[in-house]
Amino acid sequence: MKTFTYERVNTPVEAAAAAARTPGAKFLAGGTNLLDLMKLEIEAPPHIIDIGKIGLDKIESTPAGGLLIGALVNNTDLAAHSIVRRDYGLLSRALLAGASGQLRNKATTAGNLLQRTRCPYFYDTNQLCNKRVPGSGCAAIAGFSRQLGIIGTSNACIATYPGDMAVAMRALDATVETVNAKGAKRALSLDRFYRLPGQTPHLETILEKNELITAVLLPPPVGGVHIYHKVRDRASYAFALVSVAAIIQKNGSGRVAVGGIAPRPWRVEGAESLLPSGAKAFAAQLLTGARPTKENEYKLALVERTVAAVLNEANH
């Protein structure tokens, strides 16, 4: 771990302002991902801004019937919240499918959105990785890629977004709210929040420098059956090979976002009209343009079959 300086701030705008003062500074919330990365020197920020005391820890209903989730609400509280469980069961299930009880107690809503890939080559600083060291190359593409991305990837990077929460939020049409050092606010819909890697896989979101996430807004609930099916090699405490977040209505229409296959939660709204025709047609459309490796081409079938499992479950 590189030596760093540390400060604690009291408001969101102060946090953004503090970040503006020190290039490369990082916000510290739950720290469940950042501290691990710092110990391995994958992240080496010169300055840490502790945002643990700036509030943003409430879950509130909005006048329009939606739900505003503070950036620092922890995963445990969010998953257990009565409105979340009643109206956004998908989110609760996705959260509880991730990490462990101890991690969920610390991990925050904003931090979870920004967690970094689990590509093993990203994690080993001796290996080539364009995400960790831009322009250095990618050892994963010709290496062990069973866990890695099949779509939205590039010849510079095939890493996936590893989380569960954002996959559910993508299906729920969530919006990310932010503030900058001048107090200006933005609302970024989750469908454009994550960048695809292209030749710049180290740039992962459209957040601007010094911009702080303050909340996630969920639109009013849409009903339907909420299913989060996370497929992995062990039953708990593992990242998804494929995860499917689905909201299926009685008439067979629905929304489906998929995790574990792309640099961001993968949802193609245009494919969803095919859901009533079944998983095969839907998955074919969803995965158009996929470029799997030999080691992860099984994910093409796995996506289709997991969607089929979810549709089967929704009909029972």
- The site for another protein (CB under 8 A) is made up of 1-3, 39-41, 118, 120-121, 123-124, 126-127, 139, 142-144, 146, 229, 231-239, 241, 298, 301-302, 305-306, 308-309, 312-313
Between 155 and 312, whose beta carbon lies closer to another protein? 312
CB of 301 to another protein, least distance (A): 5
How many CB atoms are located within 10 Å of the residue 232 CB? 16
CB of 201 to another protein, least distance (A): 19
Between 165 and 213, whose beta carbon lies closer to another protein? 165
Between 160 and 306, whose beta carbon lies closer to another protein? 306
Between 127 and 175, whose beta carbon lies closer to another protein? 127
How many CB atoms are located within 10 Å of the residue 90 CB? 24
> What burial letters (b/e) apply to 279-290, b meaning 16+ CB within 10 Å?
beebbebbbeeb
Between 12 and 162, whose beta carbon lies closer to another protein? 162
Ramachandran area for residue 216 (φ above 0: left; ψ -120 to 50: alpha; else beta): beta
- d(C-alpha 34, C-alpha 116), whole Å: 9
Q: Is 64 exposed, middle or buried (0-12, 13-18, 19+ CB in 10 A)?
A: exposed
Contacts of 47 (CB under 8 A, 6+ apart): 4, 5, 6, 7, 18, 22, 24, 25, 26
Helix (H) or strand (E) segment spanning residue 248: strand 242-248
| Greatest extent of the chain over all pairs of C-alpha atoms, in Å | 58
Between 9 and 148, whose beta carbon lies closer to another protein? 148
CB of 30 to another protein, least distance (A): 17
CB of 41 to another protein, least distance (A): 5
**Chain CA centroid to CA 42, Å:** 19
Between 199 and 236, whose beta carbon lies closer to another protein? 236
CB of 112 to another protein, least distance (A): 16
CB of 308 to another protein, least distance (A): 6
Tokens read off for 253: 């229409």
CB of 174 to another protein, least distance (A): 26
Between 41 and 60, whose beta carbon lies closer to another protein? 41
For residue 245, give the amino acid letter.
Answer: A
Q: Residue with structure tokens 């916000």?
A: 27
Q: Residue with structure tokens 């991305």?
A: 149
Angle between helix axes 298-314 and 279-286 (nearest 10 degrees) is: 140
CB of 39 to another protein, least distance (A): 8
